[in-house]
Each structure stands twice: as C-alpha cells, then as structure tokens.
Amino acid sequence: MDLITSPVSDASVTTAPLKVAVIVASNREGRFAPVVTDWFLSRTADHPDVETDLVDVAALDLPTALGHRPGPDTQAQLAEVSLRLAAADAFVVVTPEYNHSYPAPLKNLIDRHRAEWQAKPVAFVSYGGVSGGLRAVEHLRQVFAELHAVSIRDTVSFHNAGALFDDEGRHRDPANVDAAAKTLLDQLVWWGRTLRDAKAVRPYGG
C-alpha cells in the first residue's frame, strides 16, 4: 500500500523564516511613526524566525479614488506593493490613532487588496495619547476579519508615546514593552507558520 506524503513533512516548509511585512500606517507631516517603527524593527533584527519588509504608506503615494477597474497608471502604482503584500506570510501594522480610529492612507492600502491578506496573521503595534492607539487597533480587527485575516490577540501599545522615548529614539523603560514585543512575535510566528503550512497542503478557499 502506497503512503501519501504531505508537503509539510519537508522541514524547509515549517522552519523557513516568516516573511513579515511591517506596514507604517501614518503619512502625517512630522509623524512619530519612524520612532516607533525603528524601535520595533530593532526587536526583530536578531529574531531567527522573522524576515521583515518595511511598507511605508508615506512612500507609496497611492491614488485615493477607488474603482472596480483601475486604470493602467493605478495598476502600475499598485504593482510593486501588491507583490510585496502577496509575498508576505504575515503582517505587523504600526499605527497611531486619529479621532478614535486609524489613518486614511492605511484604509486606502487595505481596500485596494483582498487575496493578499487572506489566511495570514496580522499583529498591531500602536501609539497615541492616553489610549495608546488601541481604539485604532479595535477598528482594524474588524476590517481584517472581513478580509479573512487572523488578528493576533496581544499587541504592543505606547500610551503618551512622545514621553516614552529619548532624543535618540530609545525607550526610557523598555522592560515591559520588550516583553510585549516578544509575546507578539511568538504569537505571530506560531500563526504565520501554522497558516503557511496549512495552505501548502490545501489552498485557502476564501
């Protein structure tokens, strides 16, 4: 009797580093996003299970008018970022909170894609005032659920973020946020590998 082997028996499938697109959500002039993003990337730099690709909405300059049939110019603008999102196994969104929600350029990027998000995990690093950007995160969970993505339970959030970092971008009291980042990355890697392996056996039917 012949045995049926599964693609996930190949160690290269289950142990390859997770390709994580780190999405910077703000394009505001004078934004605080680079400080928080650099801090997070410094936590992933030596992580053996993660490879990051920085996707900054401020550098994309995507058109704001949505349409069912984007013209050639729009398709050309989308081509590179769409390929990068499709290649990612997982996502981390670095977002501030604007008026109890998240920035419009992020929604524009999200709404221009669908299959690229499906059956992949999304984690959140947020910052803001008293709320630490958590209201933006709660809105994003609903949006990504609609797109068949899996949002990671634990977040990293910076409350009154401007006062937490020194002039060199170093967190003044990093113990708790370092621990939170480790938890987030551990969960992201688990979900990312689990979903990647599952799709290698059976394509997602969303």
| pLDDT given for residue 10 in this prediction | 54
| pLDDT given for residue 13 in this prediction | 56
Can you list the alpha helix ranges (DSSP code H) found in 45-71? 57-60
| pLDDT given for residue 63 in this prediction | 86
| pLDDT given for residue 151 in this prediction | 98
Q: Is pLDDT at 11 greater than 60 in this prediction? A: no
| pLDDT given for residue 4 in this prediction | 44
> How does pLDDT run across 127-183, given as a tens digit for each residue?
999 999 999 999 999 999 999 999 999 999 999 999 999 999 999 999 999 999 999
> How does pLDDT run across 30-76, given as a tens digit for each residue?
999 999 999 999 999 989 999 999 999 999 988 888 777 777 877 88
Q: Is pLDDT at 1 greater than 70 in this prediction? A: no
Residues 6+ positions from 130 with CB-CB distance below 8 Å: 159, 160
| pLDDT given for residue 120 in this prediction | 98
DSSP string, 145-180: HHTT-EE-S--EEEETGGGTB-TTS-BSS-HHHHHH
Strands 121-128 and 150-151: parallel
pLDDT, mean of residues 95-108: 97
